[in-house]
Amino acid sequence: MSLPKHEISTELFQPAQVRKENKEVIARPSISFWKDAWIRLRKNKAAVTGLIIIVFIALMAFIGPQMSKYGFNDQDLMRVNLPPKVQGLENISFLGLDGVDIRGMDQYKLKQQKDYFWFGTDALGRDQWTRIWEGTQVSLLIAFVAAILDLLIGITYGGISAFYGGKTDNYMQRFIEILIGIPNLVIIILLILILKPGITSIIIAMAISGWTGMARIVRAQILKLKGQEFVLASRTLGAGDKRLVSKHLIPNVLGPIIITTTFTIPTAIFFEAFLSFIGLGLRPPTASLGSLVNEGFRSLQIFPHLMLIPSIIISLLMISFNMLGDGLRDALDPKMRK
Amino acid sequence: MGKYVLKRIGYMLLTLFIIASVTFFLMKLLPGSPFNNEDRLSDTQKEILLDKYGLNEPVPVQYVKYMTALAQGDLGISFQFDGRPVSTLIGERIGASAFLGMQSLILGTVLGLILGTIAAIRHNSWVDYSATVASVLGLSIPSFVFASLLQYYVGVKLQWLPVAFWTTWEHTILPSIALSLVVIATTSRFMRTEILEVLGQDYIITARSKGLSNARVIVTHAIRNAMIPVITILGPLAVNLITGTLVIERIFSVPGLGQQFVSSIATNDYPVIMGTTLFYSTLFIGVILLVDILYGIIDPRIRISGGKE
């Protein structure tokens, strides 16, 4: 092997000029934790899609009922069980939005209806479009309120338990251990039986059975943080309990709290639907996504649209919340990323 | 270990005692009467009925009686089914539910393990992505939605399998598939993470540098080690399955305990509600205890008593 020999001598080099005052300059703008998390979340296509779908469905839940001239409980036996029919899309037959039922009859012609019902009508002639969006509103309300209650009780309980430690912690943990032993389903069913089915009782039942998970997470996080140097430093500088909790501990626990809440919401939506499905849900005429699915299930073979559309919306909501939750977990807690 | 197991069993009994007491007192607060057509009964008839079921005694006496009977495995007598003991009712109904649950659990875990392993081996390929999407769908779509659609399309439209009821083995296929969806999604997701983690361990590098074939490394080293933590999700999964049977049995008209429970809620059959609730609670708590102990036996690295903190 004969490579051409190039002498590399020291004369070829010369030291770069270093300015002392530039040495400490930070080249990029500093990014806070939340900004960093947001950047990571934005890169996650699934999470962004989930967020967009959630915002869209939530908006529709409020705008949707306004778009139809029929109220959610306007009954008319002249227009029962109409299949969906949408202007413009009625000529594309495979979409099934032409007002023709599964036996191939144009129900709108038969019942002499001039109006368009985008999601069809139910067995009492009520407009499904209005009912479904009102139901979405109710389902979202139940899920959000239950999640917020979980959050408040869980943070308070877990925070107190971890912060004071010792005997307090010990007793509070024994209590939670017994509560966790009782299956959620059992508590929820019993409470709803007693409180009589309704929005409030579903929320209360879910809050009572749901906060333990949050309390445990908050406690574990605070216990971990309490021993760290920055807390000691802050205490040495004279910070009181209040300042310590609000300025140091809570902001650091916020990540896991947000992640847990994002997963609580779909669980609550599911439980509400589940309860409606086994007959412990809302009482008519109030509708939720779950009770609509339940009503639709009874006539699934004849009028599939009654069950399909609320099912799609409930599934979309659950999928979106789960995707957003996964994305948030990756963004807020990079260590947990697979 | 022995001390730990004893302590856990003690907790389990305490929890069950609390559940039984709470259930009892909550039932006393329930609205409505357990008897049909109450307004048509005369006062004497009512008294006879109340006396028959021991409902006219003071609540504390009823409580003591109930708890003593409970300790002997007696769950009381159903209001709806003419004086039949609740334990007999549960015994009659549990067969179908247990079969359905076990079949779904086995089907679900096997499929989930295979799917998760393939996804992990073909990490970041289309197989992996579609498995991830499938598991998010499986975890998100409510079981009753999936079950109804399955029943409608496979049972009614395609007519491949029976739509409902519980006579031959073919009748069990659709409900089992519907119930196992969550199991498949959970196990495959978990298995994928575990395998990926195991594949990064030093002993895998050792195995590979010994010259073992890729298949051998994955089968004897990766899968075996990754499967241990999967045991931990079996507890929550079993709980999930029991919840699932409540709706799946209703959809497919399976004569199981779940269906019985749902109908007893509708008819205010307190003893059946209480008995089934207690039965479910015992099952939940027992399964979770069993899984915890099993995990400690299989993987000695887990320091069992420190596992929680």
The single residue listed with the structure tokens 């069990």 is B172
Range of the domain at B168: 89-302
Q: What is the pLDDT of residues A154-167, one digit of tens each?
A: 888 888 888 887 88
Same domain, B159 and B231: yes
pLDDT at residue A112 greater than cutoff 70: no
According to DSSP H, which parts of chain A are helical? 33-43, 45-67, 107-110, 128-164, 166-181, 184-195, 199-226, 229-236, 241-243, 250-277, 289-298, 304-332
Q: Is residue B81 domain-resident?
A: no
Handedness of CA A301, A307, A309, A312 (dihedral sign): negative
For residue A323, the chain B residues in CB contact (below 8 A) are 136
| Closest B-chain CA to A220 | B309
pLDDT at residue B305 greater than cutoff 60: no
Q: What are phi and psi of B89, to 5 degrees?
A: -60, -45
Same domain, B206 and B281: yes
Q: What ipTM describes this predicted complex? A: 0.75
> How many alpha carbons fall within 13 Å on the CB side of residue B298?
15
Cβ contact A193–B273 (<8 Å): yes
Domain boundary among B44, B71, B98: B71
Task: State the smallest CA–CA distance between residue A217 and chain B in angstroms.
Answer: 11
Q: Of A114, A107, A123, nearest to A69 (Cα)?
A: A114
Q: Is residue B265 domain-resident?
A: yes
Same domain, B215 and B271: yes
pLDDT at residue B37 greater than cutoff 70: no
pLDDT at residue A72 greater than cutoff 70: no
Same domain, B210 and B98: yes
Range B138-165 average pLDDT: 81
Q: Cα separation of B148 and B119, whole Å?
A: 29
Cβ contact B145–A315 (<8 Å): yes
Question: Which 3-state string (H, E, C) describes B196-241?
Answer: HHHHCCHHHHHHHHCCCCHHHHHHHHHHHHHHHHHHHHHHHHHHHH
Same domain, B254 and B297: yes
pLDDT level of residue B245 (50, 70, 90 thresholds):
confident
Mean pLDDT for chain A?
79
Same domain, B48 and B187: no
The single residue listed with the structure tokens 């609740």 is B86
- Predicted local distance difference test score (pLDDT) of residue A266: 87
- Give the E-state strand segments of chain B in sequence order: none
Task: State the smallest CA–CA distance between residue A31 and chain B in angstroms.
Answer: 30
For residue A304, the chain B residues in CB contact (below 8 A) are 152
| Closest B-chain CA to A317 | B140
- Least confident span in A28-32, A153-157, B256-260, B303-307: B303-307
- Predicted local distance difference test score (pLDDT) of residue B36: 59
| Closest A-chain CA to B129 | A46
Same domain, B162 and B257: yes
Same domain, B9 and B101: no
| Closest B-chain CA to A269 | B142
pLDDT at residue A249 greater than cutoff 60: yes
Out of B148, B151, B285, closest to residue A181 by CB: B285
Q: Of B170, B175, B168, nearest to B151 (Cα)?
A: B175
What residues contact B308, with CB distance under 8 A and at least 6 apart? Answer: none
Same domain, B65 and B113: no
- Least confident span in A63-72, A168-177, B250-259: A63-72
Q: What is the pLDDT of residues B253-283, one digit of tens each?
A: 888 888 888 888 777 777 788 888 888 888 8
Q: Does B134 touch chain A (CB under 8 A)?
A: no
Q: Which of A9-18, A244-253, B33-42, B99-108 has the highest mean pLDDT?
A: B99-108
* Count of positions (residues) in chain B: 309
Q: What is the pLDDT of residues A289-298, one digit of tens each?
A: 888 888 888 7
According to DSSP H, which parts of A127-183 are helical? 128-164, 166-181
Query: What is the Rg, in whole angstroms, of the alpha carbon atoms belonging to chain A?
Result: 29
Range A118-133 average pLDDT: 76
pTM of the predicted model, to two decimals? 0.78
Q: What is the pLDDT of residues B65-80, one digit of tens each?
A: 888 888 887 777 777 7
Q: In total, how many domains does chain B have?
A: 2
- Predicted local distance difference test score (pLDDT) of residue A337: 47
For residue B19, the chain A residues in CB contact (below 8 A) are 181-182, 186
| Closest B-chain CA to A219 | B309
- How many A/B residue pairs have CB atoms within 8 Å? 105
CATH of domain A54-64+129-336: 1.10.3720.10
Same domain, B65 and B192: no
Cβ contact A279–B239 (<8 Å): no
Burial class (CB in 10 A: 0-12, 13-18, 19+), A165: middle
- Predicted local distance difference test score (pLDDT) of residue A279: 74
For residue B23, the chain A residues in CB contact (below 8 A) are 186, 190
Give B 206-245 residues with CB within 8 A of chain A.
239, 242-243
Cβ contact B11–A279 (<8 Å): no
CATH number for the domain harbouring residue B217? 1.10.3720.10
Domain boundary among B45, B71, B97: B71
The ranges assigned to domains in chain A are 54-64+129-336
Same domain, B12 and B130: no
Mutate to test the interface with B, among A189, A196, A265, A323 (most CBs of B within 10 A): A189
Same domain, B236 and B168: yes
